[in-house]
Amino acid sequence: MDYIKKIENEQIKEGKETFSVGDTVKVYFKIIEGTTERVQVFEGTVIALNNSGVRRTFTVRKISYGVGVERIFPLASPRVEKVEVTRFGKVRRAKLYYLRDKVGKQAKVKERVGGKATAK
C-alpha cells in the first residue's frame, strides 16, 4: 500500500457527513488565540463539496452585513468540532456558485420536504 494513503486512512473521521449541497449548516470551528481556545459558529449555505478522503472540503457561504462571506472547511480537520444541519435544501446542481450573483430573496434555496439527509 502507498505510504500516503496509509497515513490518510488513519486520519479519516469515523462519522460520515450528514449534509449535502444546498443545506444550511452551523459549523462549530475551534479558534486558538494565543493560549485561549474558543468555539466559533459559522452558519451558512453549503455551496460546494470537493475532493475525497482526508482532503475532502466543503464551502459555506453566508451574508454578513450585506457582504457575502465564504469559508472553506476541511471535513477531517480536528478543528471542526461538529457540523449541525439547520435546514435541508432542495437543489439540482452540485455546485451553487450562481448564488454569488444573487441578492436578497433570490439567494434563497428551497427547503426539502421531509428533511432527511441523503449521504452520497
9-67 pLDDT, tens digit each: 777 777 667 899 999 999 999 999 999 999 999 999 999 999 877 888 999 999 999 89
12-39 burial, b for 16+ CB within 10 Å, e for fewer? eeeeebebbbbbbbebebeeeeeeeeee
pTM value is: 0.83
Q: What is the DSSP string of 17-37?
A: P---TT-EEEEEEEEEETTEE
Residue 45 has phi, psi (to 5 degrees) of -95, 135
